[in-house]
Structure 1
Amino acid sequence: MKIEHLSIQGCNEWNEDALILNESQRIYGVLDGATSLASVEGEETGGYLASQTAKKVFESIDRKDGSFSLRSIVLEANQRIRTEMLERGVDADDNQAVWAAGIAVIRIGEHQIEYAQTGDCMLIAVYKDGTVRIVTHDQVDHFDEKSRLLWERYASEGLPPKEIRARVFEVIKTNRLKTNTSEGYAILNGDPALERYVEHGMINRIQLESVLLITDGLFLPRKAGDSAPTMSDMVALIDEKGLSGYAEWLIANEYDESQQGKYTRLKVADDKTAIRIHFD
């Protein structure tokens, strides 16, 4: 196998993404922390603490018999997040204060690849005939698109950016109340209800050329209301530019003043984390 990976901080104070690299167990993954709405400036954010806590759980696994499922480890990491929040005095039942992180993680076997996922972290499989298979579902996009549409509406009404951000922020706060429910999205935040919503499964390795695990900071930019660029478009650009080259191109686009207003951006640049594994 050939493994490429990167994790690049966005425009905020902390990189809330994290990589999972447990080579002895052939476990690889990405985590995307969600900033706690009650975070204090200058302190580690809840998103950073959630992703780092889960990373430690996955990277500490050392079981030679392989007698575990990734789903069980996701739930173990979720419980660890709850325990550490309680130790720090965080109200683990307040969805606006809790630490939270999405995840996409795989365990590579000889014939199959096991995966588990929450939030909008994604797993993509590419086959030798060029087929691009989106294995996971972006569980957060239905909320994100509503936020993008609101942003565009307020901008068209001439509201200043600070006011737009404040109004959209209130909507995001409301959305957080729906995590780990059938109306929201799954996420590691210490809530035992996550058990009902973790995506988990297997794909076989027949004709499999590579897999890609990414956080949403690497998604192609889009305008609210427009058809979203496909994951196949993104994979084609990564093939063309390489993983690092694609990330550099995307960052240049984000900070290019000529591109401002072309896409709907809730923040200038999000954290970007990815693992790409090529099979022999």
Structure 2
Amino acid sequence: MNVTVVEHIQKKSPVKKECEDALVLNEHAGVYGVLDGATPLVCFEDEAGHNGAYLAAQIFKTKMERLKSGERLVQAVEEANLHLKEEMVRYGVQTELGEERWSTCVAVVKVVDDQIHYVQLGDSMILAEGEDGKFMTVTTDSVKGISERAKQKRVERRKGGENIPPESYYDIHMNRLRYNRRLANVEGGYTVANGMPEVMEYLDQGVIDRKGIRSLLLISDGLFHPELTLEETYQRIGEVGLESYVYELTEHLNKHSLHIDDRTAVWIKLN
């Protein structure tokens, strides 16, 4: 069984200076991926004008694209995450503050022999299409519902006697985002690559049998459709193709005045 076709697309958000997503196309090692840098809440830029989201995604892209066929995905994540931490320290980032950290979601597969190895963090997702035509999600979106879980954590902490600001404080968008970022890679929070050693504890990883798999789809959350499930999204992409789907989605978001994020996908067809 071989990879026969790899299609990919990347579109920058119209409201961003540069695309904070990254693609991995390492055909030699059978490694493909989508990385989605989390838009920073602070105004750091390096000498070239890149922010932490861009840098985090690019660090992981470089590591995955240099991976050799005999190397393991999990090890690559660990090494990229360590490099990310080192780069933040080098630039004087206050890594003890969740909102200061550079971070990226990760969805990467390695297609080798009769197996598909995968690693995932955050809300970049890996989906599979079976030979029976059914579409399924392989990974879990750990970002989904984070604001509700964060609110519940605050309720519990107040009950425990902690001095937590009232909920009206968290009605302010930036305050809510800062609190959410501090829930990265903790119990009841969400997963993301941000240099914390706990990333490896929360990494979604596994191996699936290639037998019965017709194709794989890796997407950043910019491809999520507000009115379709991920499986329905995959089905629509199968019907019209990546380019047309992204066009349709963008038109829908524009029409309803909804946020248009970076939109990145890799579609791997197997034989």
Shared fold, TM over 0.5 = yes
The structural deviation recorded for 1:169 is 2.4
Cα RMSD, aligned residues only: 2.2
Q: Taking structure 1 as the reference length, what is the TM-score of the superposition?
A: 0.83
Q: Indicate the residue corresponding to 1:182 in structure 2.
A: 187
Q: Indicate the residue corresponding to 1:115 in structure 2.
A: 118
Q: Indicate the residue corresponding to 1:198 in structure 2.
A: 203
Q: Indicate the residue corresponding to 1:53 in structure 2.
A: 59
Q: Distance in 2 between matches of 1:133 and 1:253?
A: 24
AA aligned to 1:87 is: R
AA aligned to 1:53 is: I
Residue 192 of structure 1: SS of its match in structure 2?
coil
Q: Indicate the residue corresponding to 2:260 in structure 1.
A: 269
Q: Indicate the residue corresponding to 1:31 in structure 2.
A: 35
Residue 236 of structure 2: SS of its match in structure 1?
helix
Identity percentage of aligned residues? 35
Q: Distance in 1 between matches of 2:147 and 2:135?
A: 24
Q: Indicate the residue corresponding to 1:3 in structure 2.
A: 6
User: Number of aligned pairs?
Assistant: 248
The structural deviation recorded for 1:167 is 1.4
Q: Deviations over 1:88-113 (max 9, x none)?
A: 12122221111000000000012110
Q: Residue 149 of structure 2 contacts residue 189 of structure 2 at CA under 8 Å; is this kept in 1?
A: no
For residue 209 of structure 1, the aligned residue among 207, 214, 218 is 214
Q: Distance in 1 between matches of 2:149 and 2:118?
A: 29
CA change 1:171–1:53 in 2 (3 A) is same
Does 1:74 pair with 2:74?
Answer: no
Q: Distance in 1 between matches of 2:209 and 2:41?
A: 40
Q: Deviations over 1:93-144 (max 9, x none)?
A: 2211110000000000121100000000100000111111210000000126
Q: Taking structure 2 as the reference length, what is the TM-score of the superposition?
A: 0.86
Where does structure 1 lack aligned partners over 5 or more consecutive residues?
A: 148-164, 223-228
Residue 145 of structure 2: SS of its match in structure 1?
helix
The structural deviation recorded for 1:77 is 0.7
Q: Distance in 2 between matches of 1:193 and 1:175?
A: 16
Q: Residue 33 of structure 1 contacts residue 101 of structure 1 at CA under 8 Å; is this kept in 2?
A: yes
AA aligned to 2:194 is: N
Q: Distance in 1 between matches of 2:171 and 2:100?
A: 18
Q: Deviations over 1:45-71 (max 9, x none)?
A: 211110011111111223x5x1x3211
